[in-house]
Amino acid sequence: MTRALNEKNSISLSRGNESFTRLRRFVEQRAPVEQCELCSAELGPSHQHLFDPVHRKVTCACVSCALLFSAGTGLKYRCVPRRIRHLGAFRITDGQWDSLRIPIEMAFFFNSTPEGRIVAIYPSPAGGTESLLSLDTWNDIVRDNPELSSIEDDVEALLVNRAGSGHGHSSADYYIVPIDECYKLVGLIRTHWRGFSGGTQVWEEIAHFFSALKERSGPEVSRA
């Protein structure tokens, strides 16, 4: 009888260990829950971002914390808008682009209130790199594209992609986008870049990124 009881206990213990192992594997396989970086509240897949204009840092935030910083300027963080606008009739000449001194065919431009000027950044394998900007040329571009005057300081940017046509994808694209999308592109290129030219994968990722932007964009900003 003692032997039978021991065998029964052994079977129960074995089953218990198996259940514990399955539970542990389930917990380990669950994706980590993203949290608000200000109050640690749990965040869903689609959540608000805040931007620190001084340090140029994007922060994930819950709805409550985002509302605290939706009042505008004078605060550490700025609430990042979500609108995306495709500029279907954007005007820029090759000469104007060259004078902006961007070494690649991709960049974003935004008005930095802490620095009191327009900042130009282009993505690279090392991350975002700032380029010296010709203010006269930028003013000419704004004059030819008055929709740029509606860009919200610090948290929106003109995103330019003139590199697609050289890699078998779409021709030049121009967008007004939230600043977090620009840094998302920077991170994507830094993560996937391989070798001297980037490799096939990074250009496929770039094409998918801009394709998704176009799908999510509002009514195209164009001229009659």
pLDDT in tens, 180-202: 999 999 999 999 988 887 888 99
What would the two tokens of residue 113 be? 């209130």
Low-confidence ranges of the chain (pLDDT < 70): 1-32, 71-74, 164-170, 219-224
Position 176 scores a pLDDT of 97
Residue 113: name the closest of 67, 60, 56, 65 by CA.
Answer: 56
Position 175 scores a pLDDT of 97
Position 11 scores a pLDDT of 47
CB 33 within 8 A of CB 60: no
Position 29 scores a pLDDT of 55
Separation between Cα atoms, residue 104 and residue 183, nearest integer Å:
16
Separation between Cα atoms, residue 121 and residue 108, nearest integer Å:
6
Neighbours of 145 (CB within 10 A): 18
Backbone angles phi, psi at 216, to 5 degrees: -90, -10
CB 89 within 8 A of CB 150: no
